[in-house]
Amino acid sequence: MTRRSVLIAPSILSADFARLAEEVARVEAGGADLLHIDVMDGHFVPNLTVGPPIVEALRKVTKLPLDVHLMMTNPDSLIPEFAEAGADYLTVHVETCPHLHRTIQSIKERGVKAGVTLNPATSLSSVEEIIPDADLLLVMSVNPGFGGQHFIASVLEKVSRARQLIDRTGSRAALEVDGGVKVENAARIIQAGADILVSGSAIFSSSDYGATIKAMRQAVRKAMPGAGAAAARR
């Protein structure tokens, strides 16, 4: 089955923050399509990471689209700052947004693509009403908060149903999967229907970022020849 080209988004959560600009330059040179930035507030998830200043700094050193994932209890309060900092995508959790349509509208009004995220145990039904308005649907394949976790295999069936929902509704949302993504399971995730693979430790813990990204593309090409053809030509 031929679908849209699959994209790879290295997650800077696993990068060396003492050399962040260099790390970003390496994945960009290695063929990354987007840069995934996890924003954690220490409340919704048990970790504390970066804020708008880091996004603004990254915007100055890379041409890659900035895929900013807001793991926050109150994302609405910082949407203006992250949009101004240079985010290309702002993705919020359905678990923290009681007025999700309003939140998505607020993101889009600032010229930023809007995404919605589901934790592993959150039902896909929670996004049925918003999916026609979303630019991105992010399915978490680990419980968010820390990098380096193992992929939850049962999420694959959820990814498959998410693909069906997007296609059935005619939504233009890209389907992204984040958590425990590596070369060894990339094929199964793509076969389930993903468009974007977020990978942190698998890339940043390797000695050659470009080689790891290339290996993921090769796995994609073998799994879905139609989906991987464009990526393989990079």
Q: What six digits make up the tokens of 3? A: 């679908």
Query: Choosing from 33, 38, 67, 135, which is the catalytic residue?
Result: 38
Residue reference for tokens 């139609």? 226
Residue reference for tokens 């900035």? 66
What distance in Å separates the CA atoms of residue 127 and residue 14, rounded to the nearest whole number?
29
Q: How far is CA 27 from CA 54, 86, 156, 203, 214, in A?
A: 17, 19, 26, 8, 11
178 catalytic, yes or no? yes
Query: Choosing from 33, 41, 135, 178, which is the catalytic residue?
Result: 178
What distance in Å separates the CA atoms of residue 162 and residue 3, rounded to the nearest whole number?
15
16 catalytic, yes or no? no
What amino acid positions are annotated as catalytic residues?
38, 178
